[in-house]
Every structure is written in C-alpha cells, then in structure tokens.
Amino acid sequence: MRYSYEYKRKCVEMYRRGVYPKTLEGVSEETFKGTVRKWFRIENSQGPDALRHKGQNRIWTPEAKLELISQVLSGKSYKSVAFEAGISDGMLYQWVRKYKIYGYNGLIDKKKGRKSKNPDMKKININNPRKLEESEYEELIRLRAENEYIKAENEVIKKEIALREEKQAALLKAKKQQSSKNFVKKDTN
C-alpha cells in the first residue's frame, strides 16, 4: 500500500507522543507498527523530506556502494547504514553479498536483459548509412562484377548438367527400345 507524505508525517508525530495511529484495514497491526517505526527512523536520520515519494530510483556508483559496505564490514548494523543512506536493508545486504563473492567488480552494474544471439552483428541505421571511402567503393564495384561473373558461370554449369541429363535419358530410352525389339515373344503353339 502506498501512503501519502502527509499521512506518514501524521503517524510519525503520533509515534513521538507515544501513541500509534489506528491500523488500516487489510494490514496487520504488527506490520503497520513496524512501518511507522521505520518512518520514524528515516525521518530522524534524513529529515522529513525523506518520507516523500521519489520520482526515480537513485543510481549508485560502485564507490558509493563500497563506502556503505565498508561501514557494514566495520561493525555497523545493516539497518542503521541503510536508514542513513535512504535505501532498504535488503539492497544493502545484496551489495555486501556481491562484494564478498566477487569483490569490487560485483558492485559494478551489469547489462540487463537477454544476450544477443549473434553479438558480432551491429545494428545498422538504414535511414542514414555512412559514406564509403574510395577504396571501399572500388572494392564494392569489383565484388559486384565478380558476383555477376559467378552467377553467369553457375547458369552455364546448370545448363551443361541439364543437357547431360537429357542426353543420358535419351540414351537410356534408346537402349530400352533396342532391347524390346530384340526380345521377341516365342510362340507356344
């Protein structure tokens, strides 16, 4: 559930006076009280503006992550470091875990998403292709001419094969006819 900034401030003020606000419907009392205590700690460590909704997530540099991790490794609790930084303790726990496994390289954000099937392929902008250099243009002309020559050569080879097959079929037909003429039925009378 998302709470408004004014509602959070009101709950924190009531908590300061020693009174918990009325628990909302659909939320357990224990969970709600924990949330109010969390808001109180956030406001104490970062000021009242920390309770406002942020439009965008903050992008953490590996150096800033390392600074928070070093505080945890020196003995401070996850929750206290996370409240001071304004992040969840679960995120800080993940950073520490990655640091312990991979070292500093574990703190560097990696590309997200599925890997390309063919990483060598580059996207080409069809609307605005780059201009060819003179040597590339000459090579392109040479390759096109070579391609035309190979296509013509293939056509000649295909025609030769077709003629050879026709000749072979004609020879086979002639042999069959010859053998059928030589084979005369004997009269059984």
Q: Is the pLDDT of residue 123 over 80?
A: no
Which class is domain 56-110?
mainly alpha
Q: Which of 18, 72, 11 has its CA nearest to residue 36?
A: 11
- Residue 51 is classified by DSSP as G
Give the pLDDT score at 56.
Answer: 67
Does the pTM of the predicted model rise above 0.85?
Answer: no
Q: Where are the domains of the chain?
A: 1-53, 56-110, 133-180
DSSP H stretches of helix in the chain:
5-16, 29-46, 62-73, 78-85, 89-102, 134-182
- Residue 104 is classified by DSSP as G
Residue pLDDT, tens place only, 5-47: 888 888 888 888 888 888 888 888 888 888 888 888 888 877 8
